[in-house]
C-alpha cells in the first residue's frame, strides 16, 4: 500500500513538474510582446477621467508613430514592472505577513479542529459545517495552500463515519474553494483586481454573497451525494483500491497541539473585528490598498502579543508569512512587465481595439461569458490569482468600458475564471499538494470533480449575465 501511494504522489508531481514555470511563461510573454511591437501597428485611444478613474473614449482609436521596444527597454521591463506594481506587491507582502503571525498563534487551527471534533460524529452536520467554516476562510483570507494541513483531519473524520478519503479531502478543499470563488473580502484576488480596475475595494460584495451561497450549496450537495453513495456501497468509492494513507498522517497527539484556549477565542474575535473594520473603512472613508495593509499589519502585531508571542517571534512569523506569498507578490511585477512593454510599444490599445471589434458582434451578456472563458484558459498557464489579475485586468477593463459593460463584471469574470478551475487544473500547486497528502491520484480526482466544476462554471456564467443586465457597480 505504501509503495502504491508513493507512486501516486510521484505521478501527481509529474503533471506540474513537466510544465513550464509560471514565471518562465510570463517572461516569454514579455519577450513576445516586445517582438510584436515591431509588427503590430501602433495606436492609441483617447482617455478621460470620470468619477476619479480613467476611462477609454469610445471610437477614439487612432494610429500613431511606431515605437518598437528596444533591447534595453526589454531588459528593464521586469524591474519597471515591479516598481509600477509596487503598491500591490507590498500590499500582498504586508497582508501575508500579518496572516503569518495569526497562523503562528494556532488560533485558526484550534477553532477548526474544535468545530470538526464537535460535529465529527454527526453525519448530517459534518460535511455542511466543515465546508462552511473553510469557505469563510476562503473568502476572507484567500485560503488555498493552507488547507493542506487540515486534509488529514478531514480524512480521519470521514473514514470514521464510513466515507472515504475523497470525501474528507473534498469537504476541506472544496469548502475553501467555494469561499475563494465567492471572494467577497479576498484581499489577494478581488482586492487586487479592484485596485487595478479603479473600483472601491470589495464593492459588489452583496451580489458576490448571493453567488457564494449558491456555489457553496452546490458544493455541499455534490459532496453529500457522493458521500451517501460511498456509505451505502464502499465499492463505489473512486479510491476504493487506493491506500488512503491520509488518515494515518494525523494522530491524536497531533490533534492536541490545536487544543482551543481563551487566547485563541480572543484572536479569532480580533480577526473578525479586523475584517469588519476594513469593510467599514472602505465604505465610509474610501480606504484603499494602503489603509487595508496598514490595518492588517497593526492587528497582526496585536494578535501576536495576544497569542503570547515574544516580539522577535512575532516578526519571525511575519517574515514566514511573507515567504508564503513571495510567489504571488513578485509574480505581480512580472505580469506588470507585460503591460510595460505593450504600453512602451504603443500596441496595447491596438490589441484592445481588435478584441473589442470582435466582441461588437455579440451581445454584452455573452461578452461577459466570453471574458470568463478567456480567464479560464489563462488560469491554466497562470494559476496565481494576483498574477492573473495583473496580467489580464489592464486589458479587460478598457474592453469592458468600450463594450459598455460595468468594470465590476470584468472583475467577476476574472474572479470566477481564476477561482473555479483551481480545483481541477494540474498546474495548481495547492491542488497537487492536497492530492499528495491525501494519497489520491490526480486522474481519480478529476473523475470526482469535473461535474462540479461544470456546475460552478454554469452558475458563474449565469451570474455574469445577470450582473451585466442589472449593470452591477
- CB within 8 Å of 366: residues ≥ 6 apart: 465
pTM of the model: 0.79
| N-to-C CA span, the chain | 54
Q: At 153, list the grid cell.
A: 483531519
- CB within 8 Å of 406: residues ≥ 6 apart: 400, 467, 468, 471, 472, 473
pLDDT means per 10 residues, the chain with 473 residues, are: 42 60 87 93 86 78 90 92 89 89 85 74 81 90 75 82 89 93 90 89 92 97 93 86 50 56 88 85 82 90 93 94 86 88 90 84 85 89 83 88 91 94 86 84 92 97 94 88
CA 372/CA 419 separation, integer angstroms: 11
- pLDDT value at position 70? 92
| DSSP summary character for residue 41 | P
- pLDDT value at position 271? 86
- pLDDT value at position 425? 87
Q: Domain residue spans in the chain?
A: 2-57+70-469
Amino acid at each position: 500500500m505504501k509503495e502504491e501511494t508513493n507512486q501516486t504522489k510521484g505521478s501527481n508531481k509529474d503533471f506540474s513538474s513537466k510544465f513550464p514555470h509560471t514565471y518562465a511563461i510570463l517572461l516569454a510573454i514579455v519577450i513576445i510582446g516586445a517582438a510584436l511591437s515591431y509588427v503590430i501597428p501602433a495606436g492609441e485611444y483617447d482617455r478621460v477621467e470620470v468619477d476619479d478613474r480613467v476611462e477609454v473614449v469610445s471610437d477614439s482609436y487612432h494610429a500613431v508613430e511606431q515605437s518598437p521596444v528596444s533591447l534595453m527597454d526589454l531588459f528593464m521591463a521586469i524591474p519597471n514592472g515591479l516598481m509600477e506594481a509596487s503598491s500591490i506587491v507590498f500590499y500582498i507582502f504586508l497582508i501575508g505577513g500579518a496572516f503569518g503571525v495569526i497562523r503562528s498563534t494556532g488560533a485558526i487551527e484550534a477553532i477548526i479542529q474544535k468545530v470538526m471534533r464537535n460535529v465529527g460524529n454527526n453525519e448530517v452536520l459534518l460535511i455542511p459545517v466543515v465546508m462552511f467554516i473553510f469557505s469563510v476562510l476562503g473568502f476572507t483570507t484567500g485560503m488555498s495552500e493552507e488547507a493542506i494541513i487540515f486534509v488529514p483531519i478531514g480524512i480521519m473524520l470521514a473514514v470514521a463515519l464510513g466515507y472515504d478519503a475523497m470525501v474528507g479531502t473534498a469537504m476541506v478543499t472544496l469548502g475553501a474553494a467555494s469561499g475563494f470563488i465567492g471572494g467577497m473580502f479576498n484581499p489577494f484576488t478581488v482586492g487586487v483586481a479592484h485596485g487595478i480596475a479603479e473600483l472601491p475595494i470589495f464593492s459588489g460584495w452583496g451580489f458576490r454573497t448571493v453567488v457564494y451561497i449558491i456555489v457553496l450549496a452546490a458544493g455541499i450537495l455534490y459532496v453529500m451525494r457522493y458521500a451517501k453513495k460511498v456509505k451505502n456501497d464502499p465499492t463505489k468509492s473512486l479510491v476504493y483500491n487506493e491506500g488512503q494513507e491520509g488518515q494515518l498522517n494525523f494522530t491524536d497527539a497531533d490533534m492536541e497541539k490545536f487544543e482551543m484556549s481563551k487566547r485563541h477565542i480572543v484572536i479569532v474575535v480580533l480577526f473578525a473585528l479586523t475584517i469588519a473594520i476594513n469593510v467599514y473603512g472602505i465604505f465610509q472613508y474610501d480606504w484603499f490598498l494602503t489603509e487595508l495593509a496598514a490595518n492588517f499589519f497593526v492587528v497582526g502585531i496585536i494578535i501576536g502579543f495576544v497569542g503570547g508571542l515574544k516580539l522577535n517571534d512575532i516578526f519571525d512569523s511575519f517574515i514566514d508569512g511573507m515567504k508564503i506569498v513571495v510567489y504571488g507578490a513578485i509574480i505581480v511585477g512580472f505580469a506588470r512587465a507585460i503591460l510595460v512593454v505593450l504600453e512602451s510599444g504603443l500596441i496595447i490599445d491596438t490589441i484592445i481595439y481588435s478584441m473589442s471589434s470582435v466582441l461588437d458582434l455579440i451581445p454584452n451578456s455573452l461578452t461577459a461569458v466570453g471574458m470568463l472563458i478567456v480567464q479560464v484558459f489563462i488560469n491554466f498557464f497562470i494559476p496565481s490569482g494576483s498574477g492573473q489579475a495583473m496580467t489580464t485586468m489592464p486589458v479587460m477593463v478598457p474592453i469592458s468600458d468600450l463594450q459598455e459593460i460595468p468594470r465590476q463584471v470584468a472583475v467577476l469574470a476574472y474572479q470566477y475564471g481564476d477561482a473555479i478551475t483551481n480545483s481541477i487544473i494540474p498546474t495548481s500547486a495547492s491542488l497537487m499538494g492536497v492530492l499528495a497528502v491525501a494519497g489520491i491520484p490526480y486522474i481519480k480526482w478529476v473523475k470526482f470533480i469535473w461535474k462540479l466544476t461544470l456546475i460552478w462554471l454554469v452558475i458563474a456564467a449565469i451570474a455574469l449575465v445577470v450582473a451585466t443586465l442589472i449593470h452591477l457597480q
